[in-house]
A and B are shown apart, each in its own frame.
Chain A
Amino acid sequence: MLAVLTALSTLLVGGTAHAATTPCSPDDATACLNVTVTVPGSGPAAGVALSVEGEGETVAATTDAAGKASVPLTAAGEYTVTVDESTLPAGTVLKDPAANPAAVTVALGRSAGRIVQVVPPEQAGAETDEPDGGDASTGAGGGSTGGAGTGADTEAGAEAEASAEASAGPGTNRYAQLVLAGLVFGVLLALAALGANLIYGTTGLSNFSHGELVTLGGMTAFMAVQWWGLPLWLAIIVSTAAGGLMGWLLNRVLFGPLRRRGVGITQQMIVTIGLSLAMLSSFLFFFGARPAPIVSGISQRMQIGPVQISGQSLVSVGIALVVLAAVAFVLARTRLGRATRAVSDNPALAAATGIKVESVVSRVWIVSAALASLGGVLLALYLNTTRFNFGSTLLLLMFAAITLGGLGSPLGAVLGALVIGLVVELSTLVMPSDMRYASALVILILVLLLRPQGILGRAERIG
């Protein structure tokens, strides 16, 4: 089921991408069926014979030098595409023999597409239509092929990105693998979301530009590694620092003055929305819509019991856990942490007891933005790439996590993020993978409906 849907999403993307170069152009009375045969890693496969059958006609075609065959059709309906396996390039077989022949629905005035992958025999028979664990450069749902997002569809693309962890390679248990992927994603999401919760706790502001702070981290790391040639560990430090600086700056020039002017929380929230729009467009301005992978190489994957994990993800999770523990310690045991919690509880009372509320809020902004940026780098490593809208697609997941855990409760944010991470990954068992983020948003709405204070929040927080 999943395989078919993944294949379908790939072929839809493929259909639009190739329509311009094929001789067949769809109009009111014609539909085009474009079949592309490729060998992942080495390029198109030419001279492959295939037949298209359905609606009372059978058309034979052969792929050209670009591995493409375009068949014009004059009736809408279900067609069957059969690839002649004897004409495949020497030393290759169909990657997914079960998907041959394949059914494709064709509508008049449209291009439909089908991408057939052929591989050396030892790689054949994957569970899904995507490359095996070893080839982590393509995510589920055609993450890299879907990267042609332009200004018009700024939201597209990033949702198609999936981690390598989610794809079950040979020798792994699919359920265990997804649980692992969910936990890894949850820990990283917790790191990114924690800051939004701290800001909410101390100032009451729902920061809609938090997603852009996450993107900032990913993009800074991308620049540091790919443009300036820094090693990855230094890039992580640089982008965390850049996030902290941004947080300080935002509070200093924007939100601090707004609070002093007595601008209401709702207005401040709309300011964060404007800020998010401006920052999102700035990222698109500077980096374009293409995916920006921080490290271009493919991380080695290791087998641990029934699951596989890449070294890169393992290090990311390690860093995230250490930082989360450090934040928890600071909040619980240090003077600054106590002051922060006091301000969260009751700013007026905290001020009356001699706590400098503004300086606490300023530090919270620095820490929050730094955490978001760090989370952004680690999430980008986990998802294999970053993109101008990668943080903004995660924004609502972060909101879901902190709402589920309890707004203003730091531990709740971590707990909520873990649940969201698991739900996002496990939902792919029953839903197409391009809808997995939607499942988290359903949880967000259900939580607000049933228990608006979240798992660990207090009931009086909701008016």
Chain B
Amino acid sequence: MDYGQLFTNVLNEMLGPTAIAYALAAIGLNIHFGLTGLINMGQAGFMLLGAYGFAVSTIQGAPLWLAFVVAIGAAVVFALLLGLPTLKLRGDYLAIVTIAAAEIVRMVGRSTALTDVTGGSEGLTGNAFKGTFQDASPFPDDRWALGPITLATNTSNSWWLRLVGWGLVLLACLLVWRLIRSPWGRVLKGIREDEDAVRALGKNVYGYKLQALVLGGVFGALGGVVFVLASSVQADSLGRPVTFNTWTILLLGGAATVFGPVLGALLFWAALVFVRGFLRGVVPPEVLSVQQIEQIGWILVGLTLMMLIVFRPQGILGDKKELAINAR
């Protein structure tokens, strides 16, 4: 088999828009779970809302900046809707409510009743909403090669999208780094460790939790926008498995760290693409079909998630003392 090609694919996918989208979503989840201890099982719902917000408003003729504002606004509203009733309840209630709410978003998005707006289960094709983003690119329309990877400069899965995406990731990391060290971040960590103690200090725990939920959801929405700018908006492509993958990424890299989610996303996609490409290369198709090889990858993801939370909940970069997850 062609190892050079395999490693090019791994490198390409590792740095590609999907990994960027997952990194952003995991950074958001890190604010929820790593900093505040909130169990958000509906990050895919935030991503999907961001995607719909961006795509639908662009199709309606909104300029690029407004489309981003709409995407972020959708996530903020969603976070408030979810958080206001549930953040006073115990942790696993939030988990069930968020997963249910994300499913509702997906079911409504793919419903035939909204075909005019969301395209139903077929979704919205990329060409319908990518225009403004591609026009904002300073590059000429071309194909550029960098090392072994050759990509279009502007269209779909492009250098321009990667540049903007990694820029967003960098900004998000910078923000999280500052937040962790701010008084605000210290209160969040206090809530994670002992909610009652923080309440006893006179802090409005509920308000802080809500702020954390909103901020993390906004990063999720930005991740969703990057995700669909590389392909198309399809409700089913941002379903429950996406949330679970994001969790795996966060726990792999290390929750409550600045670069954990990014490292997790890089490793997750590198490993997944490598396993699939490798198996496709060495196992003859009569033994395992391409479909089945793909599933082996996902089975491994599930097992990794189980192993991580049991044996190394702090992930690669995390500090075990910092991550005593308490159910409350």
Contacts and interface: CB of A to CB of B under 8 A. Distances in A.
A154 B251 CA distance: 23
B239 A154 contact: yes
Contact of B96 (A105, A109, A432, A444): A444
Contact of A396 (B99, B241, B306): B99
Interface in A243-277: 258, 261, 263-267, 269-271, 273-277
B26 to A, nearest CB: 14
Nearest to B93: A448
Q: Which one of A206, A275, A282, A435 has the greatest number of beta carbons of chain B within 10 Å?
A: A435
A452 B93 contact: yes
Contact of B107 (A274, A281, A434): A434
B321 interface: no
A322 interface: no
B306 A155 contact: no
B90 A258 contact: no
B107 A159 contact: yes
A76 to B, nearest CB: 11
A448 B84 CA distance: 12
Contact of B113 (A156, A266, A285, A432): A432
Contacts of A284: 291, 295, 298
Contacts of A98: none
A435 to B, nearest CB: 5
A170 B91 CA distance: 49
Contacts of B325: 264, 266-267
A110 B236 contact: no
Contact of B234 (A13, A153, A269, A279): A153
A303 interface: no
B310 A267 contact: yes
Contacts of B91: 266
B151 interface: no
B111 interface: yes
A431 B113 contact: yes
Given A277-B298, A282-B299, A12 B309 contact: no
Which 9 residue pairs spanning A and B have beta carbons closest together?
A278-B302, A274-B305, A277-B302, A274-B306, A153-B236, A281-B298, A285-B295, A449-B85, A155-B239
Interface of B: 39, 41, 85-86, 89-93, 95-97, 99-101, 103-104, 106-108, 110-113, 115-116, 120-122, 125, 127-128, 234, 236-237, 239-241, 244, 247-248, 251, 291-292, 294-296, 298-299, 301-307, 309-310, 313, 325-328
30 contacts: A5-B113, A8-B120, A9-B120, A12-B112, A13-B121, A155-B240, A263-B310, A264-B325, A266-B325, A267-B309, A270-B309, A271-B309, A271-B310, A274-B305, A277-B301, A278-B298, A280-B298, A281-B301, A284-B291, A396-B100, A399-B100, A400-B100, A403-B96, A431-B113, A434-B111, A435-B107, A438-B107, A445-B97, A445-B104, A448-B97
Interface of A: 5, 8-9, 12-13, 15-16, 28, 105, 109-110, 150-156, 159, 204, 206, 258, 261, 263-267, 269-271, 273-282, 284-285, 288-289, 392, 396, 399-400, 403, 431-432, 434-435, 437-438, 441-442, 444-445, 448-449, 452, 462-463
